[in-house]
Structure 1
């Protein structure tokens, strides 16, 4: 009933509407999911010898990981943020290496790292999310608790 382009357009519009209505926590979840999907796609492209597809998928995965890096809030937990920033940098280096060497095992390693981070992110309770949002709103408005 729907062609491939129709399904892709639907998925793209669906993601855009998810992002438009998502809270910051959900946006990060969607970014992580997007990175995982692009890495899996790139891995499939390696297996099919689709080099253009591999390059496009890995480039997009790196762009998403850079967006995750840009979203890090150094004011909240500088040590954790530095560790995550270093880990994201490591992932980008490894993706580039895997792209050149066409090594799916390296991509599996990066996927495992993202899954660990995503698993921890997914465990954040609703109460903790609300506390973080209220702290962020207070900090941006200049309100500081004494």
Structure 2
């Protein structure tokens, strides 16, 4: 399936907008932006699975895995204690489930991960609000 010119223009606009927002963001806001992008991509992957667009599903899930790996890699294991260990286990679980969904096409599995990530995002939003 070919991209329409609008799709490419919109993707370019989103990329420029994301770069400008990221440049002005605090570390907490940056994590929130990553979660927003991750949750958007999860929704996109769900739509691809439902529409049987398997190539696009694979691309969306790969983006999700990259974001999760980035979030996992950014954890401060030396100073984070139990909270960081818990987050690392949760990120690893989400990575495992997304990899499974890529093969099984399980919408339930995708919804489970989306729910977990939504709760994590709310937690980060609370941390960001409390620092102000």
Which structure 2 residue ranges, 5 or more long, are not aligned? Answer: none
- TM-superposed deviation, 1:3: 2.2
- 1:83 maps to 86
Distance 2:46 2:130 in 1: 37
Cα 1:6–1:92 change in 2 (3 A) is same
Distance 2:97 2:52 in 1: 19
Map 1:19-30; keep pairs closer than 5 Å. 19-30=22-33
Distance 2:103 2:78 in 1: 36
- 1:16 maps to 19
Distance 2:39 2:107 in 1: 13
Normalised by the size of structure 1, how large is the TM-score?
A: 0.82
1:97 maps onto 2:118 in alignment: no
Normalised by the size of structure 2, how large is the TM-score?
A: 0.90
Greater relative contact order structure (CA < 8 Å, 6+ sep) = 2
- Report the secondary structure of 2:127's partner residue: coil
Question: 1:124 is matched with which residue: 121, 127, 130?
Answer: 127
User: What stretches of structure 1 move > 2 A for 4+ residues in a row?
Assistant: 74-77, 125-129
Cα 1:65–1:125 change in 2 (3 A) is closer
- 1:47 maps to 50
- 2:109 maps to 106
Distance 1:60 1:7 in 2: 18
Distance 1:125 1:6 in 2: 32
**Highest Rg: 1 or 2?**
1
- TM-superposed deviation, 1:99: 1.0
